[in-house]
A and B are shown apart, each in its own frame.
Chain A
């Protein structure tokens, strides 16, 4: 069972306090988007073995959303960061590269 740190309230808590929200940094497709882009927005999700960016909500705590950079294979957590961003912050990228030198950000 994972242990995550909520960057909003600073609590490090076990997974049962959190609710998962799937892949982070999706770009919303609204009216005007073509069918393919809209389909991808609704259904197409990355499923990497390795570094992944996820949305989590501190459901039983402060109620706030945040993002986590995590390895889906080893469950290593590289960092958690604000949900009010559309891209991965530089310090998170650096933290991942420190542990996974061959990894490149793919956005």
Chain B
């Protein structure tokens, strides 16, 4: 069986900040009633994490939960585990009205790291990215330039940016352009 490949094939760039392919990531879209006790329990059983609140993330080294919408959660797992986690969730949730789908290959994940990472994102996202307004534990779905994207922080100076796979190369190139040496505004 052939190995899966990420959309960006390990690309990386060092400029004002580092821009790199974050590689394969298992992702599961879960739509349902996020307040439902059975659903919350099933998610905890399968991921070991509690469902986060509005626009919040719960991340550990390998797994994560990202709040996407009032009825939608993005579950992060190792890529190879995605199918079995989907099955496990479906089993655990039984007949409940939920939608659970493996979307691991539908997206590109780009890691942005460095002191200027906030400023690079703020060149394209119409979001208050000052440390007072956005920090680890939060997620923001918005646009980056002309493309829909979501991002969250995995450390004080590190972001993960997620976009659809078909525009992964475009977003990567955009981030590279926005990370040109000498281009940080020095605002935050």
Contact = CB atoms under 8 A, between A and B. Distances in A.
**A-B interaction:** yes
Interface of A: 8-11, 13-14, 16-17, 59-64
B143 A9 contact: no
Contacts of A60: 141-143, 148
A23 B12 CA distance: 47
B142 A61 contact: yes
Identify the interface centre among A8, A16, A62, A64: most chain B CB within 10 Å of its CB: A62
Interface of B: 54-55, 68-70, 72, 126-127, 140-143, 148
Contacts of B140: 11
B114 to A, nearest CB: 25
B69 A64 contact: yes
B54 A9 contact: yes
CB-based closest 5 A-B pairs? A62-B69, A60-B143, A61-B141, A14-B126, A60-B148
A10 B148 contact: no
Contacts of A10: 54-55
